[in-house]
Structure 1
């Protein structure tokens, strides 16, 4: 092994994709052997270093190279169960032996990742498991047992391979694949779910749409939650082009009846959100109906449904949500309350001194734009300038600037040097805008 190849192996082991690319550019062998004698691509696969694996394949590494045990790096990526690694290793070219890869993914999926790992490792005792990110946004379960680690995204890999082979699984099978991990570990962001959901959305046919939506009657809340998720992501398709607009009518007919009988709080909140986003004429009535629901998630959604109260009954309900025992409910209500209305202002004053930082921030944001300039609100904002959290101090300063308070420059001084997470925040411009509005004339 050359020194350059040795440095490549070290970079792969560290998951350093930038260095991998640089070394390949200098002439390192993309199929160089690692410490175990196998191509370094296998090390990237085993370490779930998807970026490094992708860099190697882009640089010429062979994902279909037959290894001494008869496997290939690509087959190892399938068995490893990470869709992010699998996508990186397969590259843009059509895969070889897709039926073999599909059979491997199906075997792992049907047996269950932990059960198959236990069988192969011949190990007893508990496995070590945890939820990790796979790629940029998906979540996945990682399992370690007997010195080997796998991830349980075999369902997602199987779904992609079926697409490559032009296999159309039944809708029910894809929905079951989407909710399997939610039933098993309560994880609605699992990569198997997102892969199945994308496949179902891409079909777009009326038969597929109806078959998915029929699961809103399923006894499992996980299935019903998936239908709400599917409808939410498919909403743009329902609005245009014109030949898809019949979905709008079917959704409008479906949602009220579903909301009236849905027993699960999480699913009900999702259905109420769909009612609100569709501007359904009965959305307000359902919001009022469920304002006292025992599930705080439902009450949060109710608060979010009333962007502008508009009538005394709705305003009364929002004020009640502003006094809710749950902090997140209060935070959403704070965004709706109107500081120019005396009854709302009384609630907002309490929320500006709430025990929850999130509630205080949202209350400060709510009072920024009203015509009210009451000393009590100003005093509450000034108090927030001494908060421990910089986000609170910035929001208080921004609200004072929006209200044209003469102490705005001093308020921004109390915010302090901004951390990187706030450096580009639009609220920072509040001071400049205040100075522009209050610049001397002439």
Structure 2
């Protein structure tokens, strides 16, 4: 096929949102800067469609994010304008601080700062002159649940509300050391449900290694505004997850232990406990027991992790607290308690009973969470296997995958049919341990050992394909 044919197929793949096809076509020689029917590079089409995977594939394949367009903008400019942190990250490209001249960097920063300071709704009013109501709807901006922003529409223009996160990311990309107090205020000023700005601020602060930044951040734990304290707790959680071996880890765990006994705001306290359980501390169980009966379920949701944080056998008091939490009226508390206590044989019957009930809950997310715990449960009773089989009726393929994986772990005679009911993956779940386990189960069944047992790890790696787990 000629190059023009490849380019035409690339345009079609971008319009279809098929990132894998885009990568394959680029590897085959398609021009990454191919123009769409509007005369603009296909990267602009991906940006306008808020298609981060396709935009990422194009940039990694050589598309130019700095291509000057007829209106004087660039794909990167349009990504900032669009307000999607995920699309912006996909389009930013390598070494923007070195790649872009200072005047261009200043223009991009001014654009992001203008959106951040003015707000998406007001900025659209200024651009359109429209006086009607702004239409706002939450949308998931990335792969994870917390990556959600508002999509804002007015006068025929659409943007997303992630400009504060974009500004923070852009400043760090240009190695601008925004004052710590300004960054924390930026995150604190956002609605609590806007986790992307808080995440970006905390990620940036974690990358700014040095005692001066660290001390400036943790000083805000005494701030009178709970929103500021919440940002500090999220920062310490992120450090616990990504840098638990740092020289400040012991100091941070002591700080969180003291903070957990002093915090009066339930939202902040839940965040403090969430961070605290990422560290090792001798008082973790005691603090968990202290809050096991807290009135706010957001606090109780963090307690099971604290109670199971030590490797020692559960004490009678800890076991009793976990048992009570498995029966908590808040389903998320129950799920977390089941996860924390599943290694204790005396708790297993109650945990199984709770999970079997949650597997029938009207909420699909709770059924999915129950599927995860039941699949990995040491309880291999027929009741658990039958519930996993029932979960194969779910519309959500991830839940079906989890259920089939649980049956495969039990070598249930229905496993082959369960794998069929999971359905084709079409490139999804590459390198997923559950999908790989199903493929390995199939391979062992189709290739029984002759003469000697199959050595561990000799089953082939799962392949991408339309009908088999990948």
**TM-score grouping bracket, smaller chain normalisation:** 0.7 to 0.9
Q: For the structure 1 residues 89 and 239, does the alpha-carbon distance in structure 2 shift closer, same or farther, using more than 3 Å as the test? A: closer
Name the counterpart of 1:351. 354
> Cα deviation per residue 1:47-70 (whole Å; 9 max; x = unaligned)?
334454455556665544544444
Name the counterpart of 2:138. 131
Q: Does the alignment pair 1:424 with 2:397?
A: no
Match of 1:196 among 196, 201, 208: 201
Q: For the structure 1 residues 352 and 219, does the alpha-carbon distance in structure 2 shift closer, same or farther, using more than 3 Å as the test? A: same
Q: Does the alignment pair 1:47 with 2:49?
A: yes
> What pairs with 1:5-404 in structure 2 (closer than 5 Å)?
9-17=11-19, 18-19=21-22, 22=25, 30=33, 32=35, 34-53=36-55, 63-92=65-94, 94-96=99-101, 97-137=104-144, 138-183=147-192, 186-188=193-195, 190=196, 192-235=197-240, 239-240=244-245, 244-245=246-247, 247-307=248-308, 310-335=314-339, 336=341, 340-341=345-346, 344=347, 347-348=350-351, 350-351=353-354, 353-356=356-359, 357=367, 358-359=369-370, 362=373, 365-368=376-379, 378=381, 380-381=383-384, 384=387, 387-389=390-392, 397=407, 401=410
Aligned residues of 2:328 and 2:334 also touching (Cα < 8 A): yes
Shift of 1:290: 0.9
Q: Distance in 2 between matches of 1:89 and 1:349?
A: 46
Shift of 1:120: 0.2
> Cα deviation per residue 1:295-327 (whole Å; 9 max; x = unaligned)?
223223222323365222222222222222222
Shift of 1:283: 1.1
Shift of 1:292: 0.8
Shift of 1:384: 3.7
> Cα deviation per residue 1:75-103 (whole Å; 9 max; x = unaligned)?
33322223444444443361241111111
Q: Secondary structure at the residue paired with 2:338? A: helix
Q: Distance in 1 between matches of 2:134 and 2:236?
A: 37
Q: Distance in 2 between matches of 1:50 and 1:409?
A: 40
Shift of 1:162: 2.5
Q: Distance in 1 between matches of 2:90 and 2:280?
A: 41
Q: Secondary structure at the residue paired with 1:198? A: helix
Aligned residues of 1:309 and 1:315 also touching (Cα < 8 A): no
Q: Distance in 2 between matches of 1:44 and 1:386?
A: 40
Q: For the structure 1 residues 85 and 270, does the alpha-carbon distance in structure 2 shift closer, same or farther, using more than 3 Å as the test? A: closer
Q: Based on CA coordinates, which of the two structures has the bigger radius of gyration? A: 1
Aligned residues of 1:228 and 1:267 also touching (Cα < 8 A): yes
TM-score, structure 1 as length reference = 0.76
> Cα deviation per residue 1:180-228 (whole Å; 9 max; x = unaligned)?
3334xx222x1x3333222211111112112111222334443322212
> Cα deviation per residue 1:309-366 (whole Å; 9 max; x = unaligned)?
522222222222222222232233334156643xx46634643653545558736854
Aligned residues of 1:31 and 1:62 also touching (Cα < 8 A): no
Q: For the structure 1 residues 278 and 41, does the alpha-carbon distance in structure 2 shift closer, same or farther, using more than 3 Å as the test? A: closer
Aligned residues of 1:171 and 1:208 also touching (Cα < 8 A): yes
Name the counterpart of 1:373. none
Shift of 1:157: 3.1
> Cα deviation per residue 1:385-426 (whole Å; 9 max; x = unaligned)?
663546786587578x4xxxxxx6546578574515754347
Structure 1: give runs of 5+ residues left out of the alignment: 370-377, 402-407
Q: Number of aligned pairs?
A: 410
Q: For the structure 1 residues 6 and 148, does the alpha-carbon distance in structure 2 shift closer, same or farther, using more than 3 Å as the test? A: farther
Name the counterpart of 2:461. none
Aligned residues of 2:266 and 2:296 also touching (Cα < 8 A): yes
Mean CA deviation greater in 347-356 or 316-325:
347-356
> Cα deviation per residue 1:248-293 (whole Å; 9 max; x = unaligned)?
3322331222112323334323322333332211111111111111
Q: For the structure 1 residues 40 and 321, does the alpha-carbon distance in structure 2 shift closer, same or farther, using more than 3 Å as the test? A: closer
